[in-house]
Structure 1
Amino acid sequence: MTQLPLSAVSAFVLFSGLASISANAATLVHYRMGDDTSLVTDSSGNGHSLSSTATETVIPATGDGSAFSNPIPNTGDSNTSMASFSGSQNMAVADPFGSLTAFTAEAYINLAGFKSGTQYVMSQWSTSTNGRSWGIGVASSSGTGTASANELYLLMGTGSSGSEVVPLGLTLTLDTDFYIALTYDGTTGTNDINLYYQDLINSSSLMSSTISSGITTSINNTSGVFRVGAYGASNSANSYWGGNIDEVRVSDTILAQNDLLAVPEPSSFALISGLLALLCVNRRHRRA
């Protein structure tokens, strides 16, 4: 095997690191909730702007939503606005996803109150034939399927009319700011879900867990409406969210932890500085 000199290795490490910064997976939608152009703008560049009855709200200095990251750790973008939901307010756009085999869904959330029914952060779901794909919801105050009361869950379509509730092990607390990210691999029913979450009020650590859904069918791709703050077809949305949602992003693959919005991304300056330091060490060694 041919060995590279230290300087070449260092350069390889640098450019590999720079590549990892720029080579992100395709972002299908990213709703910054007013921190780009407007509440409904899709900042991914794919043009999937929302229709909306939600309210754009300035992130307060204290109280609900005040701990939503500003700036966003992974991008450095300022974050001063969020979407607030009450009653039947929600946001929607015609199917922006096409065919998915895996995805990552992220959001900042704050739940204002528990309900006797479910509440949804986001979903692509329709009760029409073969319209059920996926959704991220919070169980009712008495539990939903196998999910305990007020527990976050993944709802997956398993065919033309079938569905499965997969508990995610995170029980939300009211008036608490969370960052959540969920990855789902539709090719296997074992260790197919990764959940990342951060209690932004009470903890500075990003927590993670791996879950086996037991679902052996691939993602049930539909042409259903994608919703933020609800689920259902365009004329029958329900299970409305009560509280705040911000920075909704869906990607077409399983993002590594370092690519998540809540994780600071290493700067190219730091990588260049590291390269220069290695080159200096190498030159000193060669002169000795």
Structure 2
Amino acid sequence: MTGQPGRGRPLDPTTQDRVDLGFTRGDTLLVTGAASGIGRAVALNAARMGLRVSAWDLQAGPLATLAEEIGATGGEVMTVVGDVSDEATVRDGFAELAGRFGPARYLANNAGPPSSVPLEFDEAVRISVGSVRRMTETWAATGLPEGAAMVATTSVAGNLVGTESDWYSASKAAVMGYVRHLAAHRAGEFRSNGVAPGMTDTPRLAGYADSEAGQHILGRIPLRRMGSADDMALAILFLLSPLAAYVNGVLLPVDGGWTVTQ
């Protein structure tokens, strides 16, 4: 496999001889927040590994672009445009998925508002945590294939470090608490894990690395760079994959070693 990461060097997302992590070609992955950043990288890498992708997001234009990109390489993809914190959107989206691909073996709960949005605390928790629970419960009720798995995108915020945004830290910690509950009590149906990204180079953090705060954090990261969306996506896909069949209930920091220096 080419493009192996050395110290501080990200994977090359264009690599064609990428391993498939043991996935069965034609299985379905549902990924929320798929139009940009980490979710987009999850969808693209999953398609390269032979998975069919059900891509959900609020942004219709970028979601259509993602679908075109996957389709151009021979991948199978369907899109759902809508808010995963809305019950009707989730219900209708799963109905569409059932008619198109059938049950999804894998769920990547990636959608959630960025910490920069000034949301009211109670509403932010409802959106951020409630949407993960709604997606998971609706997915689990579809009749999951054997070997099903769910991964939630949490954060180092709230789980390992405190941040300025109260609702963001609280929500990310709560999402991981829900993951642990699932791992303990729903393991007969599916595995559950969480990935905790550190500072990641996505549109949400555009220009942040050049700021004083960004430079301060970069100086504390042993790998001396921001994470890429692919760094996060491949960690998510590993935890979903059959290679992680005995991994259940973990919080996996993907932060270049930042939190061990705190």
Whichever structure has more strand as a proportion of its residues is 1
Structure with greater contact order relative to length (CA < 8 Å, sep ≥ 6): 1
Fold shared by both chains (TM-score > 0.5): no
TM-score for both structures, normalised by structure 2: 0.31
Q: Which structure's CA Rg is the greater one?
A: 1
